[in-house]
Chain A
Amino acid sequence: MIEFQNVYKSFDDETILKNVSFRVRRGETKIILGVSGSGKSTILKLILGLIRPDEGHILVEGREITRLTEPQLSSIRSGIGMVFQEGALFDSLNVLENVGYRLFEEGRMPESEIEAVVLRVLGFVDLEESIDKMPAELSGGMKRRVGIARALVGNPPVILYDEPTAGLDPITKRTIVELMIKLRDIEGVTGVFVTHDLQAASIIATQYAAAGEGGRIRFHSEGESSSLLNTGFLMLQDGSIGFEGSYEEMMHSKSSYVQAFVA
């Protein structure tokens, strides 16, 4: 579904990514770990075509995107939702206009229908009552949740998360992690989750969501030592992939870098 083949990327004189290759399968969530400035967010921007690699190939849904023009990239981007680090909500638009931005821009739906769609996705993140608020009136956690709601509009099969839990309190963090698990297990969304929050990553790798009686979503644990098959880890080290594997493999890795990170 998403594939990096020997990708290199530099900014000015600094090489950020060196010979990075990996694959994210349909329905899988790939968690990318690494220290700040290791190129994690760069990978997400490359998937969206917001920046281009210096060398290598990037395939999304089997389509090489590195040489596409901006209008051609639009069709690729319509299938990808992106949750930005601080939400990246448009300051001058309210929650309705932010979440329904893509639909308002397309101009194919009447406003009442757009509002219904926005209310539905806001229900998913439990923020229906905030539909008329401006971003300045929202807390940090609410902004992230609105950011997730915006990424969900149009039911994109892929969602990219750029540190959505960074700097949040444990309760809000848990809410966002549960949203991500629901999207993966209930909606079948493919995800790429960039973070240095190992606690959030471990919950995503070891817990799953299932619809219980009356459609109520329940979260179950696979246990601390066992990891889910649909969640993989990738660790960046000095611009290259230092580790790739499951949660269990990562926790038992003998690499000093991985050990320093997970300790």
Chain B
Amino acid sequence: MQSILKALFESPLRFLVKAIIEIQSYTLLSGRAIANMFTRPVYWKEIILQMDRIGVGSLIIIILTGFFTGAVLAIQSEGALRRYGAVSLTGQLVSLTLIRELGPVLSALMLAGRMASGIASELGSMTVSEQISAMRALGTDPIRRLVTPRIIAMILMLPLLTIICDTVGMLGGWLIASYKLLISSNQFWSDAINTLQLSDVVGTLVKPVVFGFIISITGCYAGLRTHGGTEGVGKSTTQAVVSSSIMIIAADFFINNLLIHFAPVINR
């Protein structure tokens, strides 16, 4: 951070040029990775391997995150709702908060921590040990071989993981509502389900696709731009997690705005 600020104050023009080049490279990588999805060859084996790593490998942390988030939401809602004599609305609050916001965002942030760092360190190590150069020398496009499969796997698996996170979170909320707040299961589930609108369900499925793209492309970009040996791999890993986390939260803001804008059309 200190070096970024130093570079900014020492030569603002140079900093600006570098920033533009970075954005251009990021956009070009994204464009080429997307274009590769629609042309041959497609590395199916690599896609399935990545789906296993991302999906099955992240299942435990997503289940734990979802469960405790749902439970905490139910506990926290009690204090706020009791003042208005509305503890019975816990189901609504847990359901709306989880499905609209916390489910997709927390799943994405957990995966950013786990997978953006993993992808950046894997590709970073390959870059500094010249494996990427070797791949190009042997006639393989590293973007097609390494980046595109990770993007496809991530945008397929993150929505599924988000659904699991939402579901387990609801179960966590229900457990607290039933055994601590003494709300009947029937009331909890009917409130939780009836309050949802189609736009909420669309949101909880669209957001992970966008977040999944951000996590995978940011991890790949940081990895492929690695230089400076093992120290560089460490920097890339940190950069991938920080950048993807910030971009997820920023993208969430814009998607929410779009969803609110289009909600009347979606729910019609």
> A residues 118-156 with Cβ under 8 Å of B?
150
Docked Cα-Cα span, A101 to B141, in Å, equals 13
B139 adjacent to A88 (CB under 8 Å): no
- Known A86-B130, A88-B129, A88-B130; judge A105-B136 contact (CB<8 A): no
- Known A88-B131, A91-B131; judge A82-B137 contact (CB<8 A): yes
B134 adjacent to A88 (CB under 8 Å): yes
Kindly identify which residue among B41, B126, B134, B141 contacts A84, using a CB–CB cutoff of 8 Å. Answer: B134
Kindly identify which residue among B125, B129, B138 contacts A102, using a CB–CB cutoff of 8 Å. Answer: B138
In the assembled complex, how far is the CB of residue A257 from the closest CB belonging to chain B, in whole angstroms? 29
> B residues 120-148 with Cβ under 8 Å of A?
125-126, 129-131, 133-141
A88 adjacent to B141 (CB under 8 Å): no
Docked Cα-Cα span, A78 to B141, in Å, equals 13
> A residues 67-112 with Cβ under 8 Å of B?
70, 74, 77-78, 80, 82, 84-86, 88-91, 101-102, 105, 107
Which residues on A are within 8 Å of B, measured CB to CB?
Answer: 45, 48, 50, 70, 74, 77-78, 80, 82, 84-86, 88-91, 101-102, 105, 107, 150
Contacts of A107 in B (CB 8 A): 41
Q: 19 A-B Cβ contacts within 8 A?
A: A50-B133, A70-B136, A77-B138, A77-B139, A80-B137, A82-B134, A82-B137, A84-B133, A86-B129, A88-B129, A88-B133, A89-B134, A90-B126, A90-B131, A90-B135, A101-B140, A102-B138, A102-B139, A107-B41
Count B-side interface residues using an 8 Å CB cutoff.
15
Kindly identify which residue among A48, A86, A91, A105 contacts B137, using a CB–CB cutoff of 8 Å. Answer: A48
Docked Cα-Cα span, A105 to B135, in Å, equals 11
- Known A86-B129, A88-B129; judge A105-B139 contact (CB<8 A): yes
Docked Cα-Cα span, A31 to B21, in Å, equals 37
Docked Cα-Cα span, A204 to B138, in Å, equals 26
Beyond A50-B137, A74-B139, A77-B138, 7 additional pairs, beta carbon < 8 A: A70-B136, A82-B137, A90-B126, A91-B126, A91-B129, A91-B131, A102-B139
A105 adjacent to B138 (CB under 8 Å): yes
Contacts of A48 in B (CB 8 A): 136-137
Docked Cα-Cα span, A14 to B257, in Å, equals 47
- Known A86-B129, A88-B129; judge A50-B136 contact (CB<8 A): yes
Contacts of B135 in A (CB 8 A): 90
